[in-house]
């Protein structure tokens, strides 16, 4: 069964725009899990413009499914996740000023750096995933870091899907096959939506989990949060 992890950063963005505690990200996480999501994802950034460090601590107490914390492995980030100990940490190469994730790791260039980070996380009992472009050579380099999984960066698929779904998904199929051969689990995320999710999930071998935030939370403005989680789960089941 492919799992749906809901990224709640956008809920925190809305809260921070006004100040205070509305909407409450903890209450939202509890509700999203009750509505059927298989996990909660957050991506705390140094400027805390959406998810705050305090949110990560608070969410640990209420995420009864799977807690996935994404981020650049700075010393502060590592201290946070090693204290909170979520089920999964997804390493992304974002600089502090990035609006959103925009590239996967170059595991060939940064292999030694990632290997040391992943060793620390695994000593802490945390499953690791590396945000990665759909590139077989990068999959091989990711395996050498000791990571448990890769997360395929799916923006190019989302952009290409409307006009050429088969061409858009081809490199992701190849990367997922390479990951399977290397013994790596496959996650995916970035710009997956109710429109393109089922096609993606039905074609990707070894897919374990998708992480979706922006599209799902945006759709919830029109469809309601409970209904939207159900729709996305249904799209995964269609695959």
pLDDT at residue 94 in the model: 78
Tokens of 171: 């490199």
Tokens of 150: 């890769």
Mean pLDDT of 223-232: 98
Confidence class of residue 1 from pLDDT cuts 50, 70 and 90?
confident
* Residue 183: closest CA among 234, 146, 213: 146
Catalytic residue list: 43, 70, 190
> What letter would DSSP give residue 219?
H
Give me the domains of the chain, ranges plus CATH numbers: 3-238 (3.20.20.70)
Give residue-wise pLDDT tens across range 56-78.
Answer: 999 999 999 999 999 999 999 99
Confidence class of residue 239 from pLDDT cuts 50, 70 and 90?
confident
């Amino acid at each position: 069964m492919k799992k749906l992890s809901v990224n709640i950063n956008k809920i925190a963005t809305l809260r921070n725009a006004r100040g205070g505690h509305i909407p409450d990200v903890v209450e939202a996480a509890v509700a999203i899990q009750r509505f059927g999501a298989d996990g909660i994802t957050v991506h705390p950034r140094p400027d805390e413009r959406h998810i705050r460090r305090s949110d990560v601590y608070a969410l640990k107490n209420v995420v009864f499914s799977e807690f996935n914390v994404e981020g650049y492995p700075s010393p502060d980030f590592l201290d946070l996740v090693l204290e909170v100990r979520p089920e999964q940490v997804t390493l992304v190469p974002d600089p502090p000023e990035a609006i959103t994730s925009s590239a996967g790791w170059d595991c060939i260039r940064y292999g030694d750096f990632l290997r040391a980070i992943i060793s620390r996380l695994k000593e802490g009992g945390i499953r690791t995933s590396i945000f990665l472009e759909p590139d077989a050579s990068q999959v091989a380099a990711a395996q050498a870091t000791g990571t448990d999984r890769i997360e395929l960066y799916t923006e190019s698929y989302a952009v290409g899907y409307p006009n050429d779904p088969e061409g858009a998904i081809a490199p992701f199929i190849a990367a997922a096959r390479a990951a399977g051969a290397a013994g790596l689990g496959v996650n995916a995320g970035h710009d997956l939506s109710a429109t393109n999710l089922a096609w993606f999930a039905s074609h990707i071998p070894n897919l374990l989990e998708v992480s979706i935030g922006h599209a799902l939370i945006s759709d919830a403005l029109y469809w309601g949060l409970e209904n939207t989680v159900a729709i996305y789960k249904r799209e995964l089941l269609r695959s």
